[in-house]
Amino acid sequence: MEAVVFDLLYTLVHPRDYPGGVGRVGWLAELLGVDRASLKARWDEFEPVLEAGRAPGPDPELTWLRGVTKATDLSGAEADWDLTRREALLNPPPSSVATLVALRDRGLKLGVLSNTHGLEMRAWPRSPLAPLVDVVAFSHEIGHIKPEPQAYAYVLERLAVRPGSAVYVGDGSNDELLGARAAGFGLVVLAEQAATPDALPRLRAQADVSVSSLFEVVTLV
């Protein structure tokens, strides 16, 4: 193997809930005083467009939020939209850092391929993980989301490796493992840490192998 491509969110880092034990939509609904169910339905429609980099404007998240909530003060939302991602990116698990360092020491190229949008990735340049990765492919920047074939092709091309010479590692969300297998990765690995027990059998069937600890990837390649 010549390269390893990692999913980022819930594979290399594990964001926690927003204050109050809720997700982003629940936090936004409470912050802005709007109905959570209605906001979630609108968000579920908008997020794929956002992640694909197809939402218009320089601040598409805030433009969308202003349009669906009619809120005039979004200062709190803008400041902490990336709160959980920021905390996770700036304080990654030691096992993630150790895994990347060990793979680099073995001469492997490293890539990140993740479905993301701009505001939630603001802390990435300051993450301890950033200097350990050779190629970063965020969906909102490359215009393709997993499991689209173009997303995998993008990161492989920039790593300058053939699919069969690369390993893909992810938590299995967004059918990413199926996409990696269709793209021809030589080894597809399920990182189990974020998977719920009821989802594990299905996700394990989509991968060539699964690991309970990310550092196990080092022994696989």
Q: Where are the beta strands (DSSP E) in 37-144?
A: 109-114, 135-138
SS3 59: coil
Kindly tell me if the per-residue pLDDT of 57 is higher than 90.
Answer: no
User: Across residues 95-112, what is the average pLDDT?
Assistant: 98
What's the whole-number average pLDDT of the chain?
Answer: 96
Distance CA 10, CA 62 (A): 24
| Per-residue model confidence (pLDDT) at position 66 | 93
Residue 199's identity, in one-letter code, is: A
Kindly tell me if the per-residue pLDDT of 103 is higher than 90.
Answer: yes
Q: How many CB atoms lie within 10 A of CB 98?
A: 13
User: Across residues 164-193, what is the average pLDDT?
Assistant: 97
Q: Which residue has the higher pLDDT, 111 or 70?
A: 111
Q: Which residue has the higher pLDDT, 102 or 57?
A: 102
Kindly tell me if the per-residue pLDDT of 58 is higher than 90.
Answer: no
State whether the Cα torsion 50-77-26-130 is positive or negative. Answer: positive
pLDDT tens for 14-48 read: 999 999 899 999 999 999 999 999 999 999 999 99
| Per-residue model confidence (pLDDT) at position 5 | 98
